[in-house]
Every structure is written in C-alpha cells, then in structure tokens.
Chains A and B, each alone.
Chain A
Amino acid sequence: QSALTQPASVSGSPGQSITISCTGTSSDVGRYNYVSWYQQHPGKAPKLMIYDVSNRPSGVSNRFSASKSGNTASLTISGLQAEDEADYYCCSYTSSSTRVFGGGTKLTVL
C-alpha cells in the first residue's frame, strides 16, 4: 500500500495550463480505470474534481481534465485562475479493493 507518486509542487501563471502526474503500479493505477482527483484548499475538506480517470462531477469546471496512460494518471488544469491554487491529490482503487492516495501536489498560481 505505498502512496502514489506525485510531484511535490507545480506552478503556473494565470491563463496558462499545468499538468500534475500521478504514478502508481500495475496493481492500482495501471490496472483499473478508477483514478480520482481531489482539490483541497488550506483548512478545508477535499473536493472531488475527477473520477474514473476522466469524468467530471457536475459543477466542476471544464478547465479540469484528466487522463491515464499505463501506470501514470494526469490532471490538467487549463486557463489557470487564482482560485485554483490548492493542494491536489490523486487516488486509485487497488487490487486489494482498498484505496491509495498520492502524496499531494501543491499548485501555486504565480
């Protein structure tokens, strides 16, 4: 049950696009199309942004998109806005039916 690997930090300027990677193994990310992404602002509860690799819940901006290739999933945020500055976590279903989160990525909007 090792955590998925995410970059500790990414940054971008308003209007730009950024991508956050999430690397797992053939027992989690690579095996199932059950990767989800969460946004967490300081002191707040996480918010679901993407589920099942690339599906957006209603109410989530279409500036958020995601995909997966092999053992690595990716979250892309286009048209960066100040309010996108937050921590982002990926999460995957595993072969043990458990879940595993990534270590988190701090997004800074310059």
Chain B
Amino acid sequence: EVSLVESGGGLVQPGGSLRLSCAASGFTFRSHLMSWVRQAPGKGLEWVANIKEDGGGELYVDSVKGRFTIARDNAKNSLFLQMNSLRAEDTGVYYCSRGIYSISSVGYDLWGQGTAVTVSS
C-alpha cells in the first residue's frame, strides 16, 4: 500500500526544537520531490519546504528560513523536518506530501495523515 506516515510532533516550548519524520512506503521514494505543508488550527494550508529527489534544492517559506531544515534519506525512504527556534505561530498540523512523478508536472498527489505540533509555554 502506498502511504506516508508522519511522526515526531508534540508539545514544545517557544525557542525549542522538534524533528519531524515521514516514512514512505509502497512507491519509489527516491523518484519524487517531497514537501512539508502545515496547517495552523482553523486556518488554511501553508507550504513550508521542498526537497528534490536527490536531496538537494531545498526551498523554504520565508517565515521558517534559517530555523527549519528539510532533509531526506533515500536509503531509508524517509523525509525529515528539523525545526529549531520554534515560535507560537509554528503551531499546527504538519503534512508530508509527495510531488507528482513527472518532470513537467507540479502538484502533490499523496499526503500523510499529519502530525500535530504545539508551541506553547
């Protein structure tokens, strides 16, 4: 079965750190661009970061630049998001998502169930 399963969320104090993980299965992980997308409580989706198939080309939304790092381990079919200097506004559900397998198409065709991050003292 094709799936993405996130883990690592939880409650953290402002200024703290968390590392999110996403385990991929049922498809050729190394062939897909991967992303993190978040959703604050009661709010819309926000793209957070992308990483290319080979682990390069990391891109971030301005609000997390310098604080978050996206990474992947193709040997272990895993995606990560290291989140440092966390702020209250980083609170939300973080989704792992898979880019469409095509060099000429853009979109996310597979999503995990999400992992909740709460930044609060």
Contact = CB atoms under 8 A, between A and B. Distances in A.
A41 to B, nearest CB: 12
A101 B112 CA distance: 18
Contact of B111 (A47, A50, A96): A47
A45 B95 contact: yes
B35 A45 contact: no
A100 interface: yes
B106 A51 contact: yes
Contacts of B61: 1, 98
Interface of A: 1, 3, 32, 34, 36, 38, 40, 45-48, 50-52, 55, 57, 87, 89, 91, 93, 96-104
Question: A-B pairs with the 9 shortest C-beta distances?
Answer: A51-B107, A36-B107, A104-B44, A34-B106, A45-B111, A99-B47, A101-B45, A48-B109, A93-B106
Interface of B: 35, 37, 44-47, 50, 57, 59-62, 95, 97, 100, 104-109, 111-114
